[in-house]
Amino acid sequence: MKTIFGLKKLKPQKKKSIVAIGVFDGVHQGHQRIIKTAVDDAKKLNAQSVVVTFKPHPLGVLMPGKYPPILTSLDLKIRLIERLGVDLMLVINFTREFAHMSAQCFIDEVLIKKLNVLEVVVGEGFRFGKNEVGDVNFLLNSGRKSGFKVKSVPLVLVDKKVISSTRIRNLLRNGKIDEAGRILGHYPKLMGKVIQGCGRGRDVGFCTANIETEDKASVPCEGVYAGFVRLNDKKRACVVNVGTCPTFNIKEPRIEAHIIDFNEDIYGNKIEIEIIKNLRGQKKFKDKKALSDQINEDIKETKKILCAKFTEFSKYDTINRL
């Protein structure tokens, strides 16, 4: 998948495009249905599939300080969308100036002139343009005049409830990993940079990768989790701690991952963490030994969980399941 950052870097496309538009925060099942519709139609019509999304989240510009935590950083969103078979992804820099672009101007300048649009695919509640004047009907009317088709993808239900990013955030906030995963269509993921920690993990015999996520990133509630780390295109088993470190009286929240059977310098690397199961809540232990004993138990439980869930999981440092 080719990714272009910014409208100024996008050259007019010679090939016709099937364009899916949205913020796609979380790339959940509803988003996946929109994007897969565009990918499938592009193959049928010998066109290219294009995803148009935005950075930062529009609400971060329109409601600074008040918008909710994001489910996926841009890097992670790109990875997830690429796996759906998209040809081209356009990331538009969402600014106050862009927010004042009229809906018709967006259609004329971006969809028609730049992307050579043949079909637009959006969710049924999609709105765009200055003051959100544009909606599905607006697109349909413009499409009839300009010669492109429009597909409106219905909302997706899970457990008779509409899938939404807000619903997923609430599930993560309450530690309901399995339920969040069913709605997302994939296990909850985090992406961040490995930074220098305080070295407490080494003190108890377990090196940890301290992960710095983007501001306003949505993370699971405090606790200890079984999961995977994707590093250099390999998936490795890990135990993830989200929250403080009460045993050492560290009150600043953090995300730490102990990568099982792994001891390499990965400072500065960007890694993806996949949360599979909640192991336990946080607890203050009486001493380092008690904490070390518990971490050993966490590692054993993690291996047990991953072996039960993934039949191909035979070596903890070589699994490559998506």
Q: Are residues 78 and 147 in the same domain?
A: yes
Q: Which of 158, 178, 203 is the last residue of a domain?
A: 158
Residue 314 domain-assigned? no
Ranges in the chain, pLDDT < 70: 197-205, 215-216, 245-253, 311-322
Q: What is the pLDDT of residues 7-28, one digit of tens each?
A: 999 999 999 999 999 999 999 9
- Kindly report the backbone phi and psi dihedral angles of residue 248, in degrees, each rounded to the nearest multiple of 5, phi listed first: -105, 15
Q: What is the CATH number of the domain that holds 247?
A: 2.40.30.30
Q: Which of 158, 175, 208 is the last residue of a domain?
A: 158
For residue 102, the model assigns a pLDDT of 97
Q: What is the dihedral of CA 172, 174, 177, 180, to 10 degrees?
A: -50
Q: What is the pLDDT of residues 252-271, one digit of tens each?
A: 668 899 999 888 888 888 88
Residue 203 domain-assigned? yes
Residue 179 domain-assigned? no
The residue range of the domain holding 46 is 2-158
Q: Are residues 202 and 146 in the same domain?
A: no
Q: Are residues 11 and 135 in the same domain?
A: yes
What pTM value is reported for the model? 0.86
Q: Are residues 245 and 149 in the same domain?
A: no
Q: Are residues 299 and 199 in the same domain?
A: yes
Q: Are residues 7 and 134 in the same domain?
A: yes
Residue 316 domain-assigned? no
- Rounded distance between C-alpha atoms, residue 234 and residue 21, angstroms: 31
Buried b / exposed e along 214-230 (16+ C-beta atoms within 10 A): beebbbbbebbbbbbbb
The pair of three-digit structure tokens given for residue 7, joined into one six-digit string: 């409208």
